[in-house]
């Protein structure tokens, strides 16, 4: 015997979820955070967003943005490709509704500009397009905004009005102290200046740390021209290809990335006593914060590391790589790091959460200025950071393969 029965079903009984639920409140936008910048993610706050993020559509300046995540009150988005510089209206659409916030986001990309160098290899002085460089490596800036660059066997100076001149070094290879024009260097690398206008130089192939005082007199602070790994005072100490250098003004100590010795060395400026701080593999650039923490690149491993005043070493960024070659590193006022990757033709930003993003350079060799992320470099190496008279951040890079110095600034 067969029994059968029937029953009525509600329209949605076979569906666990409406794929396009209609919000119960009117769609509106109250804010976007951040409201200016050059990269996502951005968070749009409002009401009536569809809780299924992909049902929403977001437009910035009429261009579709990518929705990364969201709920009924927040949408996290990335910027559209090809967004233009300036103010843009934010628009959200869903379920036949639309809401907009006029002029809510200002796209202000960093831009790369030419500062000095004709692109021809040489040591000519002069204006931006007259000056020439051989192999610019290290770069630093004094309080007045004068730039110093290690180039070939010289230290060059670039004034605030863009005029390049010789600051120290005859251009002849050697280890000779004395007046600036007669002094000799051998592939100077990292540079750092103290508050008294003394310039310290990591003289790589002289295996020495040199000092140029405010009167232009060059002396050897530590090292004797011979490669080695020895602590001691002044000429009794030995280094092997020192590359990066940083200063702690409070303690009057220099820190040196002693590349071939796989070590960070410390120099007491007043006594010239050299000691060892930490063991790291093929250290590159160095920088220091107000708390005395050192940050460095490991050129030979790809890691970015931190060393506390107590000498504790930790990895804070980078990747294990024998080819990426992070070179020099600087810190901004918010403790974000900017790192040159010489072999990748890029500058990378590493934020305080350890998240890395491309700051400038397309990872293609070339010589193109403009929006930072569309620019091209050829073996960028040295990097320095400062503020202009209006308090805006400026970043300078030695574009070594192009024999030029580049400036990176915000577009507004």
DSSP 128-166: TTT--BS-EEEEEE-TT--EEEEETTEEEEE-TTS-EEE
pTM, two decimals, is: 0.84
Q: In sequence order, what are the residues at sequence separation of 6 or more whose Cβ sits closer than 8 angstroms to the Cβ of residue 234?
A: 220, 221, 222, 272
* Beta strands 283-288; 380-387: pairing state: unpaired
CA-angle at 318, arms to 405 and 383, nearest 5°: 15
Query: Percent helix, strand, coil in the chain (nearest 5)?
Result: 5, 50, 45
Which residues, given as ranges, of the chain have pLDDT below 70? 1-24
Q: What pLDDT sits at residue 39?
A: 82
- Nearest alpha-carbon partner for 340 in 331, 322, 328, 324: 328
Q: What pLDDT sits at residue 388?
A: 92
CB 159 within 8 A of CB 131: no
Q: What pLDDT sits at residue 9?
A: 42
25's enclosing H/E stretch is none
Q: How far is Cα 294 from Cα 305, in angstroms, rounded to an integer?
A: 8
37 is written with which tokens?
Answer: 């910048």
Q: What pLDDT sits at residue 24?
A: 66
Three-state DSSP at 175 gives: coil
Write the burial class of residue 386 (CB in 10 Å: 0-12 exposed, 13-18 middle, 19+ buried).
middle
- Nearest alpha-carbon partner for 198 in 227, 168, 226, 170: 168
* Beta strands 66-70; 74-78: pairing state: antiparallel
Q: How far is Cα 288 from Cα 129, in angstroms, rounded to an integer?
A: 34
Q: How far is Cα 150 from Cα 189, in angstroms, rounded to an integer?
A: 6
52's enclosing H/E stretch is none
């Amino acid at each position: 015997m067969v029994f059968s029965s029937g029953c009525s079903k509600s329209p949605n009984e076979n569906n666990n979820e409406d794929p396009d639920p209609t919000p119960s409140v009117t769609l509106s936008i109250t804010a976007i955070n951040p409201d200016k910048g050059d990269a996502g993610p951005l968070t749009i706050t409002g009401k009536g967003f569809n809780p299924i993020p992909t049902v929403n559509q977001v437009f910035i300046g009429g261009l579709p943005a990518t929705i990364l995540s969201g709920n009924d009150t927040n949408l996290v988005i990335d910027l559209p490709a090809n967004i233009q510089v300036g103010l843009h209206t934010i628009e959200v659409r869903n379920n036949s509704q639309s809401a907009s916030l006029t002029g809510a986001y200002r796209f202000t990309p960093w831009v790369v500009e030419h500062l000095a160098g004709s692109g021809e290899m040489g040591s000519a002085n002069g204006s931006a397009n007259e000056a020439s460089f051989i192999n610019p490596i290290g770069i630093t800036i004094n309080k007045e905004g004068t730039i110093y660059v290690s180039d070939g066997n010289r230290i060059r100076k670039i004034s605030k009005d863009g005029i390049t001149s010789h600051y120290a070094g005859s251009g002849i290879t050697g280890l000779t102290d004395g007046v600036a024009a007669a002094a000799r260097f051998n592939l100077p690398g990292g540079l750092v200046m103290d508050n008294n206008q003394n310039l310290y130089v990591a003289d790589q192939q002289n295996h020495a740390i040199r000092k140029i005082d405010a009167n232009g007199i060059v002396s050897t602070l530590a090292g004797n021209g011979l490669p080695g790994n020895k602590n001691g005072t002044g000429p009794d100490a030995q280094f092997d290809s020192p590359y990066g250098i940083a200063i702690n003004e409070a303690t009057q100590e220099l820190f040196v990335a002693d590349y071939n010795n796989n070590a960070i060395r410390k120099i007491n400026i007043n006594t010239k006593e050299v000691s060892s701080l930490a063991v790291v593999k093929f250290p590159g650039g160095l920088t220091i914060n107000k708390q005395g923490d050192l940050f460095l690149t490991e050129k030979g491993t790809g890691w970015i590391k931190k060393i506390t005043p107590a000498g504790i070493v930790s990895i804070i960024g980078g990747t294990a790589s024998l080819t990426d070659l992070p070179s020099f590193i600087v810190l901004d006022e918010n403790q974000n790091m900017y790192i040159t990757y010489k072999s990748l033709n890029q500058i990378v930003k590493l934020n305080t959460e350890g998240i890395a993003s491309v700051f400038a350079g397309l990872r293609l060799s070339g010589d193109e200025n403009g929006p930072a992320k569309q620019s091209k470099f050829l073996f960028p190496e040295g990097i320095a950071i400062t503020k202009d008279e209006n308090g805006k951040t400026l970043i300078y890079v030695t574009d070594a393969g192009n024999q030029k110095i580049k400036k990176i600034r915000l577009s507004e």
